[in-house]
Amino acid sequence: MNNIRAYFNQLVNINDTDWEIFSSKLLKNELGKKDFILEAGQIEHNLSFIESGSVRLYIPKEDKDVTFGFCFENQFVSAYDSFLTRMPCSYSIQTLTNVILWQISHEDLQKVYAKSQIGNTIGRLAAESLFLIKSQREQSLLNETAEERYLSLFQQRPKLIKEIPLKYLASYIGVTPQALSRIRKRITR
């Protein structure tokens, strides 16, 4: 839980009273590799902060899944559109490694908003974090080649990218696993 407080303290100072209100609503959830945080068709009930581990967001398809996002430690993860609308989600969120999450439910987040001075700021910071991940992904797809997307992900998370199976990386950057192998060979020459 110290990681989440440190994360918020980097952005805004949280007094002890507000931290007590917020942290009292957080639940720790430990998941194994390949466990689902959320499956397509379910409603997202939680906003989660990743203390450790990595997850992928993907659209399940009959022939092959389409990976469109990764989240790592010290980031928020949520099917935020479903979290806000209370409607079923069209994609899944699955762990790539063992993961420790700190989660707050939609209902409890509303209570934090009402009871604390900084609650709305916490919600805004989480929403901004999730928006930036989405925005960066969209801009990457529009402005970068597959090789540039791979290099960007590698530069941002060099250690963690080793945990991601090749087929998920290939799907994320929009190429086949064979094409990704060729990209990786060109880069390492």
Tell me the pLDDT tens digit for each residue of 69-111.
899 899 999 999 999 999 999 999 999 999 999 999 999 999 9
Higher per-residue pLDDT: 164 or 163: 164
Domains, the chain, in order of start with CATH, read: 2-143 (2.60.120.10), 144-189 (no CATH)
Question: Is the whole model's pTM more than 0.85, yes or no?
Answer: yes
Residues 47, 53, 54, 60, Cα dihedral to 10°: -70
Task: Report the distance separating Cα 42 and Cα 69, nearest Å.
Answer: 18
Q: Report the pLDDT averaged over residues 126-152.
A: 88
Contact 35, 139 (CB under 8 A): no
pLDDT of residue 52: 94
Q: Report the pLDDT averaged over residues 163-183.
A: 89
Contact 78, 48 (CB under 8 A): yes
pLDDT of residue 153: 81
Q: What value does the mean pLDDT of the chain take?
A: 90
pLDDT of residue 160: 65
Q: Is the pLDDT of residue 159 over 80?
A: no
